[in-house]
């Protein structure tokens, strides 16, 4: 039996398998990339929700005439800075994520100081609108944490997929590159010290 006459058919079949494999790998990478973008969108939605609550919180606190103006100004300034940092979902590099995270940490710190100072104002702490806003902010912080976790999971799935062999050869040709993760804030590894 002469296999040479079947050689073109065998080569064509191998080429077809290779092309279908490349298409499958490419399409899977696109799907995982879209999942990362979707997860990023949810992260941004929760941060935007927090930013939208802040003007109401500031206006509620402003009603207390002797409340520290500097604290309010820092919250307003931190909100403005945080909302100016935008990241294109196609450019989720570690550096871009870090810039976004730093801006958000500034706002988180300013909000923490505002709520700590509010403890000195019993009338404010008893204000139902303030209490409702405080609960909404707390819920939003929890949602942010969940969405950041979901984002990191989507990034891990995508990054590990594009780095596997032989998929990495195909994804490299088409320009798929690793995405950045959210990292824990500096000092988060240390437990807070509580003194009475």
Please enumerate in sequence order all residues whose Cβ is within 8 A of that of 155, keeping only pairs 6 or more positions apart, or say none: 36, 39, 92, 179, 180, 181
For the 46-173 domain, the top CATH level (class) is mainly alpha
Ordered per-residue pLDDT tens for the chain, 196 residues: 677 888 888 888 888 888 888 888 999 999 999 999 999 999 999 999 999 998 888 888 877 756 677 888 888 899 998 888 888 888 898 899 999 999 899 999 988 888 888 888 888 778 888 889 889 999 999 999 999 999 999 999 999 999 999 899 889 899 999 999 988 665 544 444 433 2
Q: Read off the pTM.
A: 0.80
The tokens for 26 are 């490419």
Question: What are the sequence ranges of the domains in the chain?
Answer: 46-173
The tokens for 92 are 């989720």
Can you list the positions of beta strands (E) in 60-146? none
The tokens for 1 are 């039996």
CA nearest 29: which of 180, 166, 181? 166
pLDDT value for 196: 28
pLDDT value for 156: 96
CA distances to 72, 107, 172 from 155, in Å: 36, 25, 17
């Amino acid at each position: 039996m002469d296999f040479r006459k079947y050689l073109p058919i065998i080569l064509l079949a191998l080429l077809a398998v290779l092309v279908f494999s490349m298409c499958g790998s490419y399409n899977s990478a696109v799907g995982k990339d879209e999942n990362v973008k979707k997860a990023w969108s949810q992260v941004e939605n929760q941060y935007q929700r927090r930013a939208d609550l802040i003007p109401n919180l500031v206006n509620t606190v402003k009603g207390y005439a002797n409340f520290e103006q500097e604290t309010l100004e820092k919250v307003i300034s931190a909100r403005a800075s945080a909302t100016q940092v935008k990241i294109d979902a196609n450019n989720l590099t570690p550096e871009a994520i870090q810039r976004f995270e730093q801006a958000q940490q500034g706002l988180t710190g300013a909000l923490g100081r505002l709520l700590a100072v509010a403890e000195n104002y019993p009338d404010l702490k008893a204000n139902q609108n303030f209490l409702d806003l405080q609960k909404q902010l707390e819920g939003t912080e929890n949602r942010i944490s969940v969405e950041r976790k979901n984002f990191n999971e989507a990034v891990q799935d995508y990054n590990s997929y594009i780095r596997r062999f032989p998929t990495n050869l195909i994804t490299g040709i088409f320009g798929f590159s690793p995405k950045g993760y959210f990292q824990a804030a500096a000092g988060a590894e240390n437990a807070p010290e509580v003194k009475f």
